[in-house]
Structure 1
């Protein structure tokens, strides 16, 4: 009997050693809070209160791993899915959203080594990863940059059917290149011209207190799969960065966006400007930002947002957060018709409906 126990123990140690060759980490985020939105574009709607999940950061469960293949070469993978905690129906939301039951946040596999990192799968766009790092609110809460940034332009957070390469760091300077054969859903099995291809390039310098970068991406449009059928192409040029002076962190961003329509008329042009600050005070981090989105008449005119908020660190993994923002939508006239921008106070996981002001409090735990 004792020999059998010893044999099982040895077998257990052997299997553990074999598994240790591939290091797998389980991680995630659970975020819940209260949101109050008011000042609606719809005169028939007054206000809305909600207990929402994923306000500051989309709730997620992920698995990431790395295996040492020798000679400096490693295999890497990541599988990440979103989930809802405030309503059972959130767990069965259609594929492609933050709360899908599939691995539709990110899912990729690749290789990394002295040459850099190459991955393939469903990926964050370099544009989103960069701009969310520049935003004081990290693309979350009602203070997020996305509320007024896009003006309705197709600007995916993640893209399917993608490959990306990240160069090694050369004194803090890196280059990221990405390509998607079809931004949303599987590629056409009939004609490649039906695919919405994405081309992206990000040059970024991060060293000491400085983080600055320039991103370019182009989406060549085709009909269907959630992309506006009138869109021929979208070009984006974004310059932004942060400077951490310890007592205050300064955030700044400029972007130029053009949507070329297939009709050749009513092309959309939007220029965005953002300035923000993060002030650490002990366990507190006070945040504020102002964003002006200058849209032409086809975009419905201009929009601007002022946001203020803060985080209080209960620990390295758990924090309390609050945010308030107000949006002002202007109007523009096109062909004798008055159009109005429809920017609203959404957050990381929940739409802003028709409301132009919002307040949130919540708690977030990372694991």
Structure 2
């Protein structure tokens, strides 16, 4: 009898495992660079250091898991924490300065091969996700030129309290929709954010677009404002941000071409950015890759126009699929409204009133 019960228990366990296959992965990236920057204070002095780390990839560690529910359905989750390698400090804190354990991503959801995916939690904005697909540096810290990244929540590219739907792919087309709950009693619109996205992938070509509205960025009470009170580190009044992006990538053998446009309007703060970028990623050898982008950002603010142009080469050498080293230089030129903005006290990317900045970077990245 005892043997029969044990056999039944074992068979039941095997049967349950066959129906409910689960997977759990621990992963991460450690990216550390040493950067030299000109014009970093009012005296115009240069600076060299590690900064926040992660020039090409934000350093992080995370866990991702799935459970097979049968019939082509899965449960899934992802937890991801960002950190600064030079100090070990966590990143992606709240606007009021409180640390987050999983500031990059914290979500749970269901996935269906027939109906698509639905996820809930702290997730990337659809405009950020679409834009980084069409940027040679995936919107990393390396050049940080795109204007829309500086405003409110999109400065971090993620939103709390978000529900997102992702469709299956139909003939190369896929669609996404997301909504962020503002969590304010009696005012469902306040701090909310609706977004939509669509993409088409066919062989070497990938094209996509996204549109998002972010309500109530700015304001003068950062401790109670989910999206902070600043734009590029400068205090702004309570505003609405509308962002649209469209871009494409195309593969020519091992070479990859990138092109992107991002429109951002922060009103009534009065910041409008039209950002354009183009880039090529070209393998010089099987292990050595050249990345060569150019970014042009047109800013309108306070009745003034201005431009920010950034470009420069980067060489990336891969020892393996997990470990690489890189070195690059870039030069930024500012005019008009961009120079005025960059010279304002508190601006997050200081050039201290000058009209240019030169940067040189060397670094190492390891993925696990």
* Pair in the same fold by TM > 0.5: yes
Q: Which residue of 1 aligns with 2:66?
A: 66
Corresponding position: 1:132 with 2:97:
no
Q: Which residue of 2 aligns with 1:290?
A: 294
- Indicate how the Cα distance of structure 1 residues 343 and 358 shifts in structure 2: closer, same or farther if over 3 A, else same: farther
- Indicate how the Cα distance of structure 1 residues 97 and 77 shifts in structure 2: closer, same or farther if over 3 A, else same: farther
* Structure 1 unmatched ranges of 5 or more: 1-6, 333-337, 345-350
In 1, the alpha carbon distance for the partners of 2:362 and 2:98 equals 21
Q: Give the conservation status (yes or no) of the 8 Å contact 1:151–1:343.
A: no
- Indicate how the Cα distance of structure 1 residues 64 and 148 shifts in structure 2: closer, same or farther if over 3 A, else same: closer
Among residues 253, 273, 277, which one is paired with 2:276 in the alignment? 273
- Structure of greater relative contact order (alpha carbons < 8 Å, 6+ residues apart): 1
Please give the secondary structure, in 2, of the residue aligned with 1:127. helix
User: How many angstroms does 1:204 deviate by?
Assistant: 0.5
Per-residue CA shift, 1:159-213, capped at 9, x if unaligned?
A: 001011110011221101111113xxxx33x443683111111111112110111
Q: Give the conservation status (yes or no) of the 8 Å contact 1:81–1:99.
A: no
The correspondence of residues 166-185 of structure 1 with structure 2, limited to 5 A, is 166-182=166-182
The correspondence of residues 71-150 of structure 1 with structure 2, limited to 5 A, is 71-88=71-88, 90-91=89-90, 94-95=93-94, 100=99, 102-113=101-112, 114-143=114-143, 146-150=144-148
Q: Give the conservation status (yes or no) of the 8 Å contact 2:82–2:92.
A: no
User: How many angstroms does 1:99 deviate by?
Assistant: 11
Q: Which residue of 1 aligns with 2:203?
A: 208
Q: Which residue of 1 aligns with 2:233?
A: none
Per-residue CA shift, 1:61-99, capped at 9, x if unaligned?
A: 1111110111111101001112233124x2488447999
Q: Give the conservation status (yes or no) of the 8 Å contact 2:259–2:278.
A: yes
- Indicate how the Cα distance of structure 1 residues 205 and 28 shifts in structure 2: closer, same or farther if over 3 A, else same: same
User: How many angstroms does 1:147 deviate by?
Assistant: 2.2
- Indicate how the Cα distance of structure 1 residues 305 and 64 shifts in structure 2: closer, same or farther if over 3 A, else same: same
Q: Which residue of 2 aligns with 1:153?
A: 151
Q: Give the conservation status (yes or no) of the 8 Å contact 1:92–1:99.
A: no
Q: Give the conservation status (yes or no) of the 8 Å contact 2:109–2:119.
A: yes
Q: Which residue of 2 aligns with 1:347?
A: none
Corresponding position: 1:195 with 2:190:
yes
Among residues 291, 310, 315, which one is paired with 2:320 in the alignment? 315
The correspondence of residues 330-349 of structure 1 with structure 2, limited to 5 A, is 330-332=335-337, 340-342=340-342
Q: Which residue of 2 aligns with 1:221?
A: 216
In 2, the alpha carbon distance for the partners of 1:227 and 1:363 equals 34
User: How many angstroms does 1:343 deviate by?
Assistant: 9.1
In 1, the alpha carbon distance for the partners of 2:82 and 2:73 equals 30
In 2, the alpha carbon distance for the partners of 1:97 and 1:259 equals 21
Please give the secondary structure, in 2, of the residue aligned with 1:221. strand
- Indicate how the Cα distance of structure 1 residues 216 and 95 shifts in structure 2: closer, same or farther if over 3 A, else same: closer
- Indicate how the Cα distance of structure 1 residues 103 and 140 shifts in structure 2: closer, same or farther if over 3 A, else same: same
Q: Give the conservation status (yes or no) of the 8 Å contact 2:213–2:241.
A: yes
Q: Give the conservation status (yes or no) of the 8 Å contact 2:330–2:358.
A: yes
Q: Which residue of 1 aligns with 2:252?
A: 245
Q: Give the conservation status (yes or no) of the 8 Å contact 2:212–2:243.
A: yes
Q: Give the conservation status (yes or no) of the 8 Å contact 2:81–2:90.
A: no
How does the TM-score come out when normalised to structure 2? 0.81
How does the TM-score come out when normalised to structure 1? 0.81
- Indicate how the Cα distance of structure 1 residues 54 and 80 shifts in structure 2: closer, same or farther if over 3 A, else same: same
Q: Give the conservation status (yes or no) of the 8 Å contact 2:92–2:103.
A: no
* Structure 2 unmatched ranges of 5 or more: 1-5, 220-224, 231-235
